[in-house]
Chains A and B, each alone.
Chain A
């Protein structure tokens, strides 16, 4: 929603890729792996964004392993301002904010990646099948269902689902309190991908090479999987990067509504929510996790901008 998406892909993926016009065609190449390397060489914003993202992920993954303080240990006096030993200061219980923020980042980034990957997969498949389907009612049913689901503000859906699932339900390895949030993300997440891929699939299915494939007598699933889907994937993938930013922002806002990750599990939004009461005296508890959240989103945006064609 935030990233301006290209109107329509030119993509003729199968038979005749002889000519790649500027614009969407470039984006498609950029999203393939050899193209990623080319994008790295070509675009400054890809270089900065990718490096920043890798740096943040590495820091979240590795630094807590070597850091002397554990995220749940009371290491020193509460409300100690940032210092060399505690770069982000300490919180109201005397825990090291630096290591809590990094450990929290693992959760935020992992969940964002999982949610985006699953919604992208489900939405793209549903949308493509609906758009490419020869049954008009299937196409329309998906479109109307998506319209109705998109009409709900997601915060409202989350709160309703929390009541249904129960705020403390635990399923598998998911941290307590996150189950309802994850279900809500998955209930709503696929809709935008479905809308985008449906539109894309509907424009692709009218191309000559699809008609040719139909005349040759390929089964429908093969036409969808081999000829329509490759043209849909880049559009969905471009939206996925923007979606990751929105997902992380939404995930960290849940603490403010009293749902989501329960204390003492560190998570960026939860740390900020805890620090909010001491904003005037100990700003570091709230500001540092927020800055890291913003930086991660910034890195993702730069990456997305560099992968998209430059007007």
Chain B
């Protein structure tokens, strides 16, 4: 493959850039967490703790060392995937807390992405190909209205209609396992896809309109190929391409949306871990969640870039 070399070079640049951003992210988190007023050891032990026990905990947490030394051991820990221990729940590692929460959050986000693509792509395509008809106006109107309603509101409406009135699905809670746990995932994912879905509809509509105006479509039609085949084989693949970048770019917002939707549906996700850590002033957990969620976003963007360049030969061979 002639472009393979260039592609590898590009991949290397992307990787380096992502690594630089992650480094900056970790540094920002380290500094910002240290802006929190008050002494963490004092906060954990309570106001009536003796100075000696505060000093002992400080030594145990390494807070008595100079800032640069703390930074060094912090980065050393990060490289080993070690995020430290929870200050409040003795003996529980931050990694296990973050991983259990992240699993739930990512499950909701991925299900929402899947639903958005499955629902959004057909609607976007139909909307683009129907010209300026009532269908187009209807699809665009509904998607604008959905985009304007925050996911937690859609979630509350879904609970009201589908679980409290129709008793179809549970109003909240979490169950693991397959497929028993699936029913807990449906409503949160549906609520969250009301944010991403309209964006998908818009992007697919735009891309399909653009693709259908390309000369090659006219040529294919003139050669007597059926319009259906033109749509499915030529217009559809071209309108799916922008979705990769779009989803990568929106992962951050989806995680934010999922954090709120989780509270509405009482899911044990990242949102709950974080909210609890904030009320308990559990610094190490806050630090861990902030770093890991930012890493997920950076990784998703990197993945989107790589996937896009793999799928689209124009990008793979360019530069």
Question: Given A144-B24, A298-B148, A301-B144 in contact, is the A160-B160 Cβ separation under 8 Å?
Answer: no
From known contacts A156-B290, A297-B149, infer whether A163 and B25 are also in contact, taking CB-CB under 8 Å.
no
C-alpha gap A163/B278 in the complex (Å): 7
The reply to whether B249 and A152 contact each other, CB–CB distance below 8 Å, is no
B44 on interface, CB distance cutoff 8 Å: no
Decide yes or no whether B21 CB sits under 8 A from chain A. Answer: yes
Determine, out of A11-19, A112-120, A278-286, the stretch whose residues face the partner at the interface.
A278-286
CB neighbors of B among A227-267 (8 A): 245-246, 249-250, 252-253, 256-258
Interface size class of B (residues with CB under 8 A): 35 or more
B281 within 8 A of A: yes
| Cβ of A176 to closest chain B Cβ, rounded Å | 17
Q: Which residues of B contact A151 (CB under 8 A)?
A: 21, 25, 252, 294, 297-298, 301
Interface flags for A138-170 (1: CB within 8 Å of B; 0: not) read 000000110111111111110110111010000
How many Å lie between the Cα of A150 and that of B36 in the bound state?
Answer: 22
A interface residue count range (under 10 / 10 to 19 / 20 to 34 / 35 or more): 35 or more
Point out the residues of chain B lying under 8 angstroms from A162, CB to CB: 278
B118 contacts the other chain (Cβ, under 8 Å)?
Answer: no
Give complex CA distance A300, B275 in Å: 31
On whether the beta carbons of A290 and B149 are closer than 8 Å, the reply is: yes
Q: Are A164 and B164 in contact (CB under 8 A)?
A: no
Q: A155's contact among B149, B157, B260, B279, by CB below 8 Å, is which?
A: B260
Q: A290 contacts B35, CB within 8 Å?
A: no
In angstroms, Cα B145 to Cα A300, docked, is 10
The digit string for B209-221, where 1 denotes a CB below 8 A from any CB of A, is 1000000000000
Q: Is A302 an interface residue (CB 8 A)?
A: yes
A301 CB to nearest B CB, Å? 4
> Do the beta carbons of A290 and B275 come within 8 Å of each other?
no
For residue B205, give the distance in angstroms from its CB to the closest CB of chain A.
9
What residues on B are CB-neighbors of A280 within 8 Å?
A: 160, 164
Q: Which residues of B contact A279 (CB under 8 A)?
A: 156, 159-160, 164
Asked whether, in the complex, the Cβ of B209 is within 8 Å of the Cβ of A311, the reply is yes
Question: Would you call B147 an interface residue if the criterion is a C-beta within 8 Å of the partner chain's C-beta atoms?
Answer: yes
Query: Assuming the A-B contacts A2-B199, A4-B203, A164-B37, are A153 and B281 also in contact, with contact meaning beta carbons closer than 8 angstroms in the complex?
Result: no
- Measured between alpha carbons, how far is A311 from B275 in the docked complex, in Å? 43
Is B115 part of the contact surface with A, judged by Cβ < 8 Å? Answer: no
Residue interface mask B25-45, A partner, CB < 8 A = 1: 100100011011100000000
- Residues of A within 8 Å of B294, CB to CB, are 148, 151-153, 156
Contact between chains at A256 and B264 (CB < 8 Å): yes
Question: Are A258 and B279 in contact, CB atoms less than 8 angstroms apart?
Answer: yes
Q: Point out which of A4, A151, A297 has the most chain B C-beta atoms below 10 A from its C-beta.
A: A151
CB of B250, distance to nearest CB on chain A (Å): 7
Chain A residues within an 8 Å CB radius of B83: none
When A256-B264, A290-B149 are in contact, do A144 and B20 touch as well, CB less than 8 Å?
Answer: yes
Any chain A CB within 8 A of the CB of B256? yes
Q: Are A276 and B264 in contact (CB under 8 A)?
A: yes
Measured CB to CB, the nearest residue on chain B to A254 is B260
Cβ of A155: which chain B residues have Cβ within 8 Å of it? 255-256, 259-260, 271, 274
A278 to chain B, nearest CB (A): 11
The residues in B between 260 and 305 inclusive whose CB is less than 8 angstroms from any CB of A are: 260, 263-264, 271, 274-275, 278-279, 281, 286, 289-290, 293-294, 297-298, 301
Is there contact, CB below 8 Å, between A153 and B21? Answer: no
Instruction: State in angstroms the CA–CA spacing of A300 and B256 once bound together.
Output: 22
Is B184's beta carbon under 8 Å from chain A? no
Q: How many A-B residue pairs have CB under 8 A?
A: 152
Whether A256 contacts B263 by the Cβ 8 Å rule is: yes
| Nearest CB in chain A to that of B206: its residue | A4
Cβ of A295 to closest chain B Cβ, rounded Å: 8
A216 within 8 A of B: no
> When chains A and B are docked, how far (Å) is the Cα of A162 from the Cα of B298?
24
CA distance A2 to B153 in the complex (A): 18
Tell me if B202 is interfacial: C-beta within 8 Å of chain A.
yes
B252 adjacent to A152 (CB under 8 Å):
yes
Residues in A whose Cβ lies below 8 Å from that of B290: 152, 156-157, 160
Q: Is the CB of A148 within 8 A of B32?
A: no
Please give, as numbers and ranges, the residues of chain B lying within 8 Å of A287 by CB-CB distance. Answer: 156-157, 160
Q: How far is the CA of A280 from the CA of B172 in the complex (A)?
A: 14
Complex Cα–Cα for A272 and B260 (A): 13
Would you give the shortest CB distance from A227 to chain B, in whole angstroms?
30
**A154 touching B256, Cβ below 8 Å:** yes
CB-based contact B206/A164 at 8 Å: no
A residues 265-311 in Cβ contact with B at 8 Å: 272, 276, 279-280, 283, 286-287, 290, 293-298, 300-302, 305, 311
**A159 cross-chain contacts in B, Cβ below 8 A:** 274-275, 278, 286
Residues in chain B near residue A154, CB distance under 8 A? 252-253, 256
A153 touches B259 (CB 8 A): yes
Contact across chains for B150 and A293 when beta carbons are under 8 A apart: yes
Smallest CB–CB gap between A42 and chain B, Å?
15
23 contacts between A and B (CB under 8 A): A144-B24, A150-B297, A151-B294, A156-B289, A156-B293, A160-B278, A160-B286, A163-B286, A245-B147, A253-B152, A253-B260, A257-B259, A272-B153, A286-B156, A290-B157, A293-B149, A294-B145, A294-B148, A295-B148, A296-B148, A297-B149, A301-B147, A301-B148
A residues apposed to B, CB below 8 Å: 1-2, 4, 144-145, 147-157, 159-160, 162-164, 166, 245-246, 249-250, 252-253, 256-258, 272, 276, 279-280, 283, 286-287, 290, 293-298, 300-302, 305, 311
